[in-house]
Amino acid sequence: MIKKLLIAALVAGLMGIAGLAQPVMACDIVQKADKVNPVVGDTIKVTVTLTRTHFNCTVPMEATQFKFVGLKLISQTAWTKTGANTWQAVLTLKALTAGDASITTTRSCIKPGEHVDKLVIKVK
């Protein structure tokens, strides 16, 4: 009886551990614009903060990709390390058209995982 209980507890424990195993995103990306309602022609600074979840990541920060809709990239700062696994860059953008403009940031990983973050900016 005790042997059956121990086996049942072991199986339940292993199933619990397996249930906790979730795919890990490649990175956590947060983007923040300095202007809430820019108008066409305005310059917008977007701060991109990236936290690596794979602590021994071999993908360089420069491999981070940006796609712009209704925005033009004027400049980008170098990636600056702001924490143990956190990096930050500031993009200077120009608003080209009225409506929903966006910046999509993609970080692909050689390990399972990819993270895409889209920031929509309403341009007047």
The pTM of the full predicted model, rounded to 2 decimals, is 0.78
Task: Give the pLDDT confidence of 69-80 residue by residue, as tens digits.
Answer: 999 999 999 999
Domains delineated in the chain: 24-123 (2.60.40.150)
In the structure, what pLDDT confidence band is assigned to residue 101 with cuts at 50, 70 and 90? very high
Please tell me the predicted confidence (pLDDT) of residue 54: 77
Alpha carbon separation from 72 to 31, 52, 107 (Å, rounded): 16, 27, 20
Q: 84 or 5, which is more confident? A: 84
HEC per residue, 90-105:
EEEEEECCCEEEEEEE
Q: Which two tokens stand for residue 40?
A: 């066409």
In the structure, what pLDDT confidence band is assigned to residue 20 with cuts at 50, 70 and 90? very low
In the structure, what pLDDT confidence band is assigned to residue 12 with cuts at 50, 70 and 90? very low
